[in-house]
Chain A
């Protein structure tokens, strides 16, 4: 639970957009069936009901049903399926 209280990014103090920080993961959800994770740090686990994706200083847990790794490149991952929850750990 050490990440439960995460550090606030410096951009917040400077009143700048958070995405200006290089390497910060960006999550885009299209409805409840597709998630695009940009700037990922690799897959940690892959199962039909849970896919764990590493990010900078965090772990993204995508829960759902019939989850499928639709596409993956060095920086981006596309996950499709019935997405129930996205958790940041």
Chain B
């Protein structure tokens, strides 16, 4: 096997024919000419390889060594390069591509925004555009102070922003301002009402006047803890009622689902279309509209040219695949319907009683009715039924004079 270095430097294959072809090899060794791969074809013929630059010298020695020399082959990188020397377009294209690649790396072709939760990307992109960061912008012109000050003024919800440029990709990292938590106004007229009917098991009143006791039944919307706090020594105080009310509640939730439905059955017929997006311009390689018949799923795959994570060109290849289907009738078995309904109703119940709620007991019943499955879940739960509600003006007015009238009686 030829060594890679030999291929790179180039070599000539020489055939020496004579009475003593080894004399030529001796001469080469004496003249310090590299040769290798020598093998005897017969007693009078020797084939060997030497460097391209020594080939002519070896040919000249031939007469003195009484040999007839033939150059069988010249190969290697220099020979191949010589063949390609006059193919100017072949050399020009990579150079052109390389220069375009280098030039385009100075421009921004992709903006990546991370760290935003409430502020939309569009809003940040618009602010960045105003400060000079947009698709196609010349990145060496960016000044971080300028970008930061403009964007932060434009989007006050942002606390901090940094723009890092990696090749043609702008990596924008933002931090949003954290809203100051709302402080509880203790004088705000708020009462606690029951959001669900139930038998009260426990009342934890932190502030306000408790209107119910353990064991009593509270109907939905009943005031459990009043914001008006009567005092035997002074005026009635209006405060922000606080507390939790644990009560036993009962639920009955029903759900119905049809046993027959239609589903998609793919026919196997597919259709592919291609388009190219260069910058903001789209070139469609098809004549018809992108939207196909109603009975098909469109899957759009976009591939951006470039090296992922480092460099991206503003060229995107779009492949639109349409998979055609037919609607067929299908049915759900009774067991499947029962399991689905039960799971659905349990989820619904958990949502209703909240995270801290507890299911004490439950019963699920299932029935079939006119091609539909009906499920009913009856459950006894234990949950916090307290919900804050602002006191109305009438309630406040009613609470205050009542106290004032009580005062002289006391």
Contacts and interface: CB of A to CB of B under 8 A. Distances in A.
Interface of A: 42-48, 68-74, 77
A42 B36 contact: no
A80 B38 CA distance: 12
A47 B40 contact: yes
A45 B28 CA distance: 15
A48 B32 contact: no
Contacts of B43: 45, 47
Contact of B25 (A47, A68, A70, A72): A72
A42 B78 CA distance: 32
A68 B39 CA distance: 7
B54 to A, nearest CB: 14
Contact of A42 (B21, B23, B35): B23
A62 B30 CA distance: 21
A43 B25 contact: yes
A71 to B, nearest CB: 7
Contact of A73 (B22, B29, B39): B29
A66 B40 CA distance: 11
Contacts, number: 41
Nearest to B25: A43
Interface of B: 20-23, 25-26, 28-30, 32, 35-36, 38-40, 43, 46
Contact of B30 (A71, A74, A77): A74
Contacts of A44: 20, 22
A42 B26 contact: yes
A54 to B, nearest CB: 9
A45 B22 contact: yes
B61 to A, nearest CB: 13
B40 A48 contact: yes
A46 B22 CA distance: 7
B32 A46 contact: no
The listed residue with most B CB atoms (<10 A of its CB), out of A43, A44, A73, A74, is A43
Given A47-B43, A72-B25, A72-B35, 8 more contacts: A42-B22, A43-B25, A44-B20, A45-B20, A68-B38, A72-B28, A74-B29, A74-B32
B363 to A, nearest CB: 89
B22 A71 contact: no
A18 B40 CA distance: 34
Nearest to B36: A71
Nearest to B38: A69
A46 B46 contact: yes
Nearest to B32: A74
13 contacts: A42-B23, A42-B30, A43-B26, A44-B20, A46-B25, A47-B43, A68-B38, A69-B38, A70-B36, A71-B36, A72-B28, A73-B29, A74-B32
B115 to A, nearest CB: 65
